[in-house]
Amino acid sequence: MAISASQVKELRETTGLGMMECKQALVEANGDKEAAIELLRKKAGAKVEKKAARTAADGAVGIALSADKKTVAMVEINSETDFVAKGDEFLAFTANVAETVVASRPADVDALQNETIANGSTTVSKGLEALIAKLGEKMSVRRFVIQQSHGNIGTYIHGRKIGVVVDMEGGSEDLAKDIAMHIAASRPEYISKDQVPADVVEKEKEIFSAQAMESGKPADIVEKMVLGRINKYLAEITLLGQPFVKNPDVTVEKLLKDASAKVVAFYRYEVGEGIEKKQDDFAAEVMAQVQGN
């Protein structure tokens, strides 16, 4: 029976075990996920059952630049706890995976698993399996991005949990790094207002219009109020519209214009963003145990 990549990915996320281990279990179980989990439990012991209920929402961001500074990669590797994520072994693995992405340029995370890890002799998947076995936590290679330079690349990592890559035409490496630091702090969603989807602007306009109508002012005044709020909103969510963090009297747009520079692309990773973390209700847990007894 043919096993799809999505089936393997789903089983890996559930168990925290390696890709090849999960694929073999699915093959033996004829694609039945629950049966595959039982097979893995028999082979790997209770650790499978325990990891399945846990969430890997901590971790680290790693960035690697090619020797010619023409290609940059950023990765996010997840773990369960901050304690493991800030350890030397986890950070070294994260750095090596970033180097692997720069060197091999895989199509996606699944393809990356089969690449030989930088500074090692095994694959990324096997290296992850070994780290999971040694440190005892559920871990995963969550995502990565590769960017080809259009002139100057700026990178910045803040406390291993926030990473930024900036690709810039013109300017300088120092300016590109300053912009990366700005993005880390100010969280723009788009480069310019032209990139903001029309439906996003329309939704905000509806909200602002409803708020302005409550003021009881004439329609023409309300229209001006809404326009002003929309312009302020667009400035807040776009890189070019934001005040530069190192000099709030100057917008990023003016800073770039004065340096004859243009941001072509930027990427901002924050560890765990979008992952729903499990919230433990210890009082309810104790009550359930008491009632069970």
Considering the entire predicted model, what is its pTM? 0.75
Residue 13 lies in a domain: yes
Domain at 36, CATH number? 1.10.8.10
Long-range contacts formed by 30-34: CB under 8 A, 24+ apart: 30/1, 31/1, 31/3, 31/7, 33/7
Sign of CA dihedral 154, 157, 158, 161: positive
Give the dihedral of Cα atoms 276, 282, 283, 284; nearest 10 deg: 60
Strands (E), the chain: 58-65, 71-79, 140-148, 152-158, 162-169, 243-244, 247-251, 262-270
Residue 287 lies in a domain: no
Per cent of the chain over pLDDT 70 is 88
Task: Convert the pLDDT of each residue in 13-22 to its tens digit.
Answer: 777 677 788 8
Amino acid identity at 192: S
User: What's the number of domains the chain is made of?
Assistant: 4
Range of the domain at 102: 55-147
Per cent of the chain over pLDDT 90 is 58
The model's confidence at residue 261, banded by pLDDT at 50, 70 and 90, is: very high
Shared-domain flag, residues 221 and 130: no
Question: Among 239, 272, 245, which Cα is nearest to 168's?
Answer: 239
